Structure 1
Amino acid sequence: MCDLYGIPNCDTMKKARNWLDTHAVDYTFHNYKKEGVNEELLSQWADQVGWELLLNRRGLTWRKLSDQQKEGIERDRAIQLMCDYPSMIKRPVLIDGDRIEVGFSEAAYCQLFGR
């Protein structure tokens, strides 16, 4: 069983959940909006894939930040912002054992699950 992190109404999340359901992959869904996400977990992910990949700079939440908040962003500040504003975490984050996939790509999921 894998863990899928994100926000339920996100279109990319819907695609990922649909792919997992269609391919009978068991997963537990973790809703950032309701459950939040802690600094320790984000640090672990950042260690594996880099904070730059995790931080969604295309979203509305990022764009609403002041230039001062965005200026000189580095790992610790990025992790703090993602804890404070979970919508800034790129979605979905899929954890399967020690493997992590950020974002949804049908090809990547096929490779990850041998489909």
Structure 2
Amino acid sequence: MGSEILFVGYPKCSTCQKAEKFLRAHGCTAPMRDIKAARPTAEELRAWHQRSGLPLRRFFNTSGMVYRDLGLKDKLPHMTEEEQYAVLAADGMLVKRPLLITADRVLTGFREKEWAEVFA
């Protein structure tokens, strides 16, 4: 298992490192795509969001510095979905990480129990 999985994270993020360890322990060989160096496009984000069934705000890294610096907490409620995709695509550090994208699931953040269901 691995080729049908996309794993997106930030190499310096301790949670992403934990998620990567978890994936390796479960036989997943998908490499980590660096969210900062190869940031998701608006099109990818739109597709992942639609497949996830999650509210779009779950794709934002609300605890990150960039999110706070841009004042997005107050701006997001007034932005269209397209504007939100564009903001997310502009800076990978705004995107909640890690992301696990499979053929039928999209998970944001690392919650071991949730991720374990993918490998059950």
Q: Same fold by TM (over 0.5)?
A: yes
Helix, strand or coil at the partner of 2:12 = coil
1:66: how far off?
Answer: 4.0
Match of 1:95 in 2: 101
- Indicate how the Cα distance of structure 1 residues 42 and 58 shifts in structure 2: closer, same or farther if over 3 A, else same: same
Higher strand share: 1
The separation in 2 between residues aligned to 1:98 and 1:45, in whole angstroms, is 10
- Aligned length, in residue pairs: 114
Which residue in the other structure is 1:60 paired with?
Answer: 65
- Describe how 1:1-115 pairs up with structure 2 within 5 A: 1=2, 2-49=5-52, 50-66=55-71, 70=75, 72-114=78-120
Structure 1 CA distance for aligned equivalents of residues 79 and 60 of structure 2: 11
Deviation at 1:73, TM superposition (A): 2.9
Identity fraction in percent: 25
The list of structure 1 runs, each at least 4 consecutive aligned residues, that deviate by more than 6 angstroms after superposition, is none
Task: Give the superposed CA RMSD.
Answer: 1.9
Please state how far the C-alpha of 1:97 moved relative to its aligned partner. Answer: 1.6
TM-score scaled by length of structure 2: 0.84
The alpha-carbon deviation at position 95 of structure 1 amounts to: 1.0
